[in-house]
Structure formats: structure tokens, C-alpha cells
Amino acid sequence: MKHRLLFLLLWLAMPAMAVAEPMVLAAASTRAVVDDGIAESGLAAVASYGASGVLARQIEQGAPADLFISANPKWMQHLVELGLIEAEVVSVLMSNRLVLIAPEAAPALAPDEIGARLEGENFVMADPQTAPVGSYGLAALENLGLWAEVERHFVPTRNTIATVAAVAQGEAALGLVYASDAVGQPGIRVVWEVPADSNPPIRYLIAPLAQGDDPEGGAALMRYLLSAEARRLLTEKGFLPMAGGS
């Protein structure tokens, strides 16, 4: 009895062991939906956001991630080719659209007015070299014959979060972001929806990793985000659900 009591006292005196939580590396444009998805799922997780290319490089260098959400299929494919992700576990989570945003007091805009609107002003968009939204945006503007008017005003940003902030703060007259980035954002308004057929299809891919401390937790969160229950959340945040694709 004394030994059992001593063991109990020693056990109660031990510091609580840290519980592992899955690490999610996700495209900056998914912040709202991933944050709310974690909360609604009831699962504990830590999320870090950035440009998909930057995150893929971090994973390549050994970042302890359990789940990766990329806004550009090429970065997911890059990790598949490196053997860090198995091709058969990659799924299509959702899609998106491109829009032009302006400060909320700005008037409506027609495509042929973009040049005049940018006179003496900046145009912001995430860097096409690292951020998928910038790559999609560049393709759309080139295909629509608008890049020549925009290029000399172009100031690249780190990601869509920085683009929205620059426009909201009046540092740029126009910015190109995903439609989901403009949902519920103060200080900006959508002034033009970019035709969907002007850019490659936008696909957000999701896949589990085995580099973190809680791969099971990462897989559980992935299952939730791909579930029918999560479709409502994706739609509310301005995305186009495509759960179940591969």
C-alpha cells in the first residue's frame, strides 16, 4: 500500500507531458478556411501560412510538417518527385477565382479602364515566382492583353495577405487576389472578376506528410477538410469545394 501511495504521489508531482499537435503548412490564401476548419473540427493543430513555393522549399529542407496545402499543383508535384509525399495520397481540396480589388471608396472598374486607374499608382500582386496566385494572375493578364498596361506599375508582394493589406492601406490602387481573399475584408472592394477561362484551372491540393510529430493528427484534419461537413465552410469563405478529387 505504501509503495502504491508513493508511486501515486510521484506521478502527480511529474510535469505534464507535452501533447504533440500536427503542424500544417498551408498557402497564405487558405488562412481563414484552415483556421476555422481546425476550430470546427475540434482537432488541435498548429498552422503556418505562406507562399506555396516557399513552404514547399521548407518541407524539402526538413520542416516538421504533418500536412501540406498548396495553391499550385506544381509545388505538390515537386515534393512527390522528391519522395516526400506519396502521389496516391494527394487530393484536390477546392478551387478559386481571381478578382481585382481596390480601396473600398473606389468606383467600379471596366477592364479597359485599368491603365487609367493605375496612372501614377501601384498595382500589387503576389510574386509570380513563388506564389501561385501571382502565377495565375500573370497568365490571366497576359492572355487578356492587359499585362503591358499593368507591368510598369507592378509591385510584387509576399502573398495574398500582403496584397490585401497594401490595397486596404491605400498603398496601391489595384491588386489581384483570389476571390476568397476579399471575403469579409475591410477597406477593400472587388471591382472586377477575372474571366475564369483566362488562367489555368486553380486547384488547391492537400496531402499528409511524415516529417512532423503527429502524422495521425494531420491525417485526421485532412479527412475533416475533405468531408461533406466542411464543404459549407469552404463555400462561406469564398472557395469552390472540390472535396474527394484526386
Q: Name the residue among 133, 141, 29, 162 with its Cα closest to residue 72.
A: 133
Give the number of residues written for the chain: 246
Buried-exposed string 174-211: b where 16+ CB fall within 10 A, e elsewhere: bbbbbbbbbeebeebbbbbebeeebbeebbbbbbbbeb
Superfamily designation of domain 98-198: Periplasmic binding protein-like II (3.40.190.10)
Mean pLDDT of the chain: 91
- What is the per-residue pLDDT across 81-104, written as a single tens digit (0 to 9) for each? 999 999 999 999 999 999 999 999
Which of the 8 DSSP states describes residue 211?
A: S
CB 100 within 8 A of CB 38: no
> What is the pTM for the complete model shown?
0.79
| 10 burial via Cβ count (<10 Å: 0-12, 13-18, 19+) | exposed
Topology (CATH) of 19-95+202-245: D-Maltodextrin-Binding Protein; domain 2 (3.40.190)
Contact in structure between 180 and 65 (CB atoms under 8 Å): no
DSSP result, 88-103: GG-EEEEE--EEEEEE
- Specify the domain boundaries for CATH 3.40.190.10 within the chain: 19-95+202-245, 98-198
pLDDT single digits (tens) 163-211: 999 999 999 999 999 999 999 999 999 999 999 999 999 999 999 999 9
The 3-state DSSP composition of the chain as helix, strand, coil percent (nearest 5) reads 45, 20, 35
Q: Are 115 and 83 in contact (CB under 8 A)?
A: no
State the 10-residue block means of pLDDT for the chain, 246 residues long: 45 49 94 96 95 94 97 95 97 97 95 96 95 94 97 95 96 97 95 96 95 95 96 94 61
Q: For residues 125 and 176, is the Cβ–Cβ distance under 8 A?
A: yes
- Per the DSSP assignment, residues forming a β-bridge with 145 are none
Cα–Cα distance measured from residue 160 to residue 94, given in angstroms and rounded to the nearest whole number: 17
Here the cell at position 128 is: 509570380
